[in-house]
């Protein structure tokens, strides 16, 4: 798909039908043939779960139709108030969103980034002040291994969509952390102590930040990022992610 997009960019839209003939468009989640490049098949669109209202006033966790009123606070937030100032999730974690994230991450489907970012942008509340868009960083070893940071790809697309100004290296990993999958909440937090630092404290001070990641699971990594940004003087930090996991037991990425 990357190749097709690049081809189109290079030779312009006029020859698109010819490109489609050579590379028939396929749904990036299930591989089913589709009418046009850059979308999903109808079944996969239907499986995407867009978080709705009413939702938690602090973290936008959807309550479902029979839930409490808009502006109420969910049980996890009541238990421990979040460090962030809201979560804008493009979708809730389902089989299809998992496949899309894996396709972006491991299948190098860089052309998927605009589609996923469009879904995130739709959930970002308008802000009066300009935001800085900062991706959750990858350690340089992982970056080298994978070739790109999927959070940075999404961040770049969000900047293109007018959600703020991209500061791609606003945060950095200061040490390699083990994979957090399978760890309990306390072990995750411990593994991340001192692992994330702000690169340019001067540009963060007094600013509103949109922190971008592909999947939001336990929130241990994003919390470490939010805390680093707040220590550097950020006025607010809203987390923007493509797939938000509400029930942690379900996820294995």
- Choose one: 20-28, 102-110, 154-162, 212-220; the region binding Zn ion (CB under 5 A): 20-28
Q: Residue 124: name the closest of 155, 170, 148, 167 by CA.
A: 155
44 or 138: CB nearest Zn ion: 44
- Choose one: 31-39, 127-135, 202-210, 234-242; the region binding Zn ion (CB under 5 A): 31-39
- Establish if 216 lies at the interface with Zn ion (CB under 5 A): no
- State the nearest-atom distance from the C-beta of 111 to Zn ion, in Å: 15
- State the nearest-atom distance from the C-beta of 130 to Zn ion, in Å: 26
Within 189-208, the residues that bind Zn ion by CB under 5 A are none
Beta bridge partners of 161: none
The token pair at 138 is 């990858």
How far from chain centre, in Å, is Cα 52? Answer: 17
The token pair at 170 is 């606003």
- State the nearest-atom distance from the C-beta of 85 to Zn ion, in Å: 12
CA torsion 192-209-170-185 (nearest 10°) is 10
- State the nearest-atom distance from the C-beta of 12 to Zn ion, in Å: 28
- State the nearest-atom distance from the C-beta of 80 to Zn ion, in Å: 10
Single residue of 56, 132, 238, 245 touching Zn ion by CB under 5 A = 56
- Establish if 48 lies at the interface with Zn ion (CB under 5 A): no
62 or 135: CB nearest Zn ion: 62
Within 66-95, the residues that bind Zn ion by CB under 5 A are 74, 77
Q: How many other CB atoms are found less than 10 A from the CB of residue 14?
A: 8
Mark out the alpha helices in 80-210 (DSSP H runs).
95-105, 113-121, 140-146, 150-160, 185-191, 201-204
Q: Residue 253: name the closest of 228, 226, 218, 223 by CA.
A: 218
Q: How many other CB atoms are found less than 10 A from the CB of residue 6?
A: 12
How far lies 129's CA from each of 126, 182, 207, 225, in Å?
9, 39, 9, 21
- State the nearest-atom distance from the C-beta of 114 to Zn ion, in Å: 17
CA–CA distance, 64 with 52 (Å, rounded to integer): 8
Single residue of 1, 19, 29, 228 touching Zn ion by CB under 5 A = 29
- Establish if 121 lies at the interface with Zn ion (CB under 5 A): no
48 or 152: CB nearest Zn ion: 48
Q: Which residues bind Zn ion (CB under 5 A)?
A: 27, 29-30, 32, 41, 44, 56, 58-59, 61, 74, 77
């Amino acid at each position: 798909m990357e190749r097709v997009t690049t081809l189109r960019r290079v030779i312009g839209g006029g020859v698109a039908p010819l490109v489609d003939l050579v590379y028939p468009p396929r749904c990036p989640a299930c591989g089913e043939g589709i009418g046009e490049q850059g979308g999903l098949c109808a079944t996969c669109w239907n499986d995407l779960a867009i978080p709705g209202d009413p939702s938690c006033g602090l973290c936008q966790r959807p309550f479902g139709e029979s839930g409490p009123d808009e502006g109420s606070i969910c049980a996890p937030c009541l238990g421990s108030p979040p460090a962030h100032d809201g979560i804008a999730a493009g979708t809730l974690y389902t089989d299809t969103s998992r496949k899309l994230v894996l396709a972006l991450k491991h299948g190098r489907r860089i052309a998927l980034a605009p589609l996923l970012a469009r879904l995130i942008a739709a959930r970002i509340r308008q802000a009066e002040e300009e935001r800085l868009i900062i991706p959750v960083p990858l350690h340089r070893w992982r970056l080298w291994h994978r070739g790109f940071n999927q959070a940075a790809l999404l961040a770049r697309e969000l900047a293109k969509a007018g959600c703020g100004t991209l500061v791609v290296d606003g945060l950095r990993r200061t040490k390699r952390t083990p994979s957090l999958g399978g760890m309990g909440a306390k072990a995750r937090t411990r593994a991340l102590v001192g692992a994330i630092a702000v690169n340019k404290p001067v540009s963060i001070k007094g600013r509103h930040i949109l922190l971008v990641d592909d999947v939001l699971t336990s929130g241990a990594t994003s919390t470490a990022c939010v805390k680093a940004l707040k220590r550097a003087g950020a006025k607010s930090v809203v987390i923007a992610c493509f797939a938000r996991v509400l029930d942690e037991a379900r996820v294995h990425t």
